[in-house]
Chain A
Amino acid sequence: MSDMDDMDDGSGVVKKFMFLNRKAPHGTVYALEGLEVVLITAAFDQDVSMVFTDDGVYQLMKGVDTKGIEVKDFSKTYRALEGYDIEKLYVDQVSLDARGLTEDDLIVDVTVLSVDEMANLMAEQDVVISF
């Protein structure tokens, strides 16, 4: 990958990509697949942000134990995002409140946004991909 960095021919347009996560971490493959897409996208040096809203906020819950449902607990992987230079993580305030959660319940540092702030952020994006 780093060899590719050297092949920059000046055509490297940086777009704003938002990955919108709306589903609970387990039960469907959306959360894990979405996370993998984000980690792969990180290789392309784009302006990437992740948003967690609705049941998607559960993806960032601390202290998860998935032994009982026999699936991999990938919640720790959100902590690796910083190393992939993905540092823009946003969470919807209303979704947190509706589930009785606060920032302290989350496994990574996030920016909590109001509905209006979230709408503005979405409007700024070139691409919004929803999982």
Chain B
Amino acid sequence: MPMVNIAGKEVEVDEEGYLVDLSQWNEDIAKYMAVEEKVDLTDSHWEVVNFLREYYAEYQIAPAVRVLTKAIGKKLGPEKGNNKYLYELFPYGPAKQACKIAGLPKPTGCI
């Protein structure tokens, strides 16, 4: 699988650019992935990215969009747990893009 050099460290990514080894994740990698995805990371983006990392730690999967939206609504409130808000932050799919930035695999049940 391809290797990329991120902030002086060699990391392995899959053919779609997702980090292979979750434990290698750090903020430099998140920033690199964000540039790849053409996302300008703000605090609002970080909130979703950190939420996904917590979700993964708890359930060992990356959630599907629908599940992510609902879970964010529960934790951060309905003004954030909706498609409009999340797609504004991650236009090419909140689960897909935010998972990549969070160092998670591509979401299960993402079709």
Contact = CB atoms under 8 A, between A and B. Distances in A.
Given A1-B66, A2-B66, A43-B66, A80 B61 contact: yes
Nearest to B69: A2
A15 B109 CA distance: 19
A43 B59 contact: no
13 contacts: A1-B64, A2-B65, A2-B66, A39-B64, A39-B108, A42-B109, A76-B58, A77-B61, A80-B58, A80-B63, A83-B71, A84-B67, A84-B109
Interface string B19-54: 000000000000000000000000000000000000
Nearest to A38: B109
Interface of B: 58-61, 63-67, 69-71, 83, 108-111
A40 interface: yes
Residue from the set B67, B71, B83, B110 with the largest chain A CB neighbour count within 10 Å: B67
B60 A77 contact: yes
Contacts of B65: 1-2
A30 interface: no
B66 A76 contact: no
A57 to B, nearest CB: 20
The interface size bin for chain A is: 10 to 19
A29 to B, nearest CB: 15
A2 B71 CA distance: 15
Given A72-B60, A74-B60, A76-B58, 5 more contacts: A1-B110, A1-B111, A40-B111, A83-B59, A83-B71
B64 A77 contact: no
A123 to B, nearest CB: 28
Nearest to B83: A2
B60 A76 contact: yes
Contacts of A77: 59-61
Contacts of B69: 2
Contact of A83 (B63, B83, B111): B63
